[in-house]
Amino acid sequence: AEGVVIIMRGLPGVGKSTIVRRLVEGWRRASRLEAEARAQAEARVGEGRNTTAKGEVKWCGEGGGEGDAVVCSADAFFAAGAGLSGKQLQAMALAKGLPEDASPYEITFDVAMLNEAHSSCRWLFKQAIHDQRSLIIVDNTNVRLEEYAFYKRVAARAGYSVGVLEVKCARSQEVLERLNARCTHGVPISVMARMQERWETDHLSRIVALRPAGVGLGDEGLGEGDGQVAGGAVGDRPGVGPMIPLQQLPSLHQWLSTHHCVHYSKWRRRTHLLMEANGEAAAFLYVPPARRAEFHDVYWAEQGPKFLCEEVSAPNRLRMFLDIDLPLSAPPLQGAWLHWLCCQLQAVLITAGLPSSTIIATASSAPTGPFRPAGGPADAIGPGVHIHAPDVVVSAVTALELRAALLTALAAAPFDLTQVPDSHEHSDQPSFTEAAHPCEKEHSGHLPLTEAGRAYQIDWAEAIDAAVYRGGGGGSLRMLGSLKVKRGHVVGDGRLYQVAMVVGSDGVALPPAELARFARDMPRVLAACSILADVD
């Protein structure tokens, strides 16, 4: 299928249905225009003025006249009379004391029937997928991620592009009262308040707000008034592509499905873990080496956020890497300090009789605060750095031994942290070439950076993760471009990694211009930073 599924989110009264109407109207207008253009093109083919064969161009409303858009919602179940006949509706209205002109929704709505309403919505959605409708919109409140995970899963498996459109509103009693006044379904304000308390963040969603007539929007916005979308477009979550793509391209899911890469067995060979996130279950991938380059191209072209780790299981050989998480209080691992650490790893490799590999360092930004899942304790996660030695292939057992040797080397010749700017300062990053190769310079004793009398003491044994080697049984590392997930939730802003430094085997770091050129070719970077060493 080459269609689009849009999943709406928002409290009752926030303006979801207004946006849905505008989307459907726009889709149908576009479909009519394209149908007219297609008819003209086919006429030119028949007259010999155009050599394009019929069927080579795909049109957004093909097969649906004015655009085969479908809107599925739980409300539609009650609006259609909940399966009751006309006489039954009249009898129910009389029993409830409702006026003769009461709508079927007013007559039939019953909280006790919500499960049945949502079952009906899911059935209609599956039918629309089966009918290959080009635009399918799910218009429900969708407070929690699991409430719409079904729609995402079914749509993705059918090859649809999927987007989540969230209509945002401020968290205040005043806003709830205004929404309650706008709500046509009589949802009590106490119920709306509980919905807002249970609201879960979706890092994959697009944020919109309807602009109130004559009223400016703050950071949060409020969906009401004339139905104009604030800013004229959907929101700006980083890494999320357009809600309705201008052209249909194979998605990462489609590519993985086409090549039968997805499985759910712990006993089968795997190269990647698709992490549990946003209500979606975890899965394993096996991407054979012959398709790895193509996979990297498709992966990086994927417009939505990604949740993939590379996995080394069997054969138990990996390309040497380090996974470093500094404490929240630590200065950023960058510049001369990062260069020193890369060179220390090179020296350890040489001592172990291994190649002095090129070293590639990627780093995440520091989080805005500790991760705290609902009902759970805070998890103090500082800035992260991944260090790769792509020319060195070892077993996981050897990787643990190299880590231990590096810890010894770092303790014997610690870096002078007084050279490192504080994490709260915004000074320019030191030149990558300031630090000498460890073979060329002896480092002085440890002089920790202090702030208000507090010293930064880096516990490298704690910072350099040993668990990623699974006790010598394998390896696992999150891919560049994938978000960090813990217990099914995205951590903070996702802690996306970027290329920070490349140090040649001679200990010399790439200058900024060359580093920037390398970082622009992300499929190449993905291949260079891969921990997978299998070649068969």
Instruction: Identify any residues that bridge with 139 across adjacent strands, giving them in sequence order.
Output: 8
Structure confidence by residue, pLDDT tens digits, 255-290: 888 889 999 888 889 999 999 886 778 899 999 999
What is d(CA 525, CA 514) in angstroms, rounded to the nearest whole number? 13
- Which amino acid belongs to residue 128? A
Per cent of the chain over pLDDT 70 is 74
What is d(CA 373, CA 377) in angstroms, rounded to the nearest whole number? 7
Instruction: Please report the beta strands in 73-223, taking only residues with DSSP state E, as ranges in sequence order.
Output: 135-139, 161-167, 206-208, 210-211
In this predicted structure, the answer to whether residue 245 has a pLDDT above a threshold of 60 is no
What is d(CA 26, CA 12) in angstroms, rounded to the nearest whole number? 23
Mean pLDDT of the chain: 76
Q: Are 503 and 346 in contact (CB under 8 A)?
A: yes
What is d(CA 197, CA 30) in angstroms, rounded to the nearest whole number? 39
DSSP state of 440: T
Structure confidence by residue, pLDDT tens digits, 408-451: 999 998 887 665 554 434 333 333 333 333 333 333 333 344 33
Provide the whole-model pTM: 0.57
Q: Are 154 and 285 in contact (CB under 8 A)?
A: no
What is d(CA 27, CA 7) in angstroms, rounded to the nearest whole number? 16
The sheet carrying 318-325 orders its strands as 318-325, 384-394, 359-364, 497-503
Q: Are 485 and 307 in contact (CB under 8 A)?
A: yes
Q: Are 62 and 134 in contact (CB under 8 A)?
A: yes
**Lowest-pLDDT range of 156-170, 189-203, 232-246, 315-329:** 232-246
* pLDDT score recorded for residue 247: 39
Domains of the chain: 4-68+131-232 (3.40.50), 252-528 (no CATH)
DSSP 123-156: HHHHHHHHTT-SEEEEES---SGGGTHHHHHHHH
Estimate the crossing angle of helix 189-197 against helix 173-182, to 10 degrees. 120
Residue 53 CB partners (closer than 8 Å, separation 6+): 45
**Lowest-pLDDT range of 130-134, 239-243, 414-418, 430-434:** 430-434
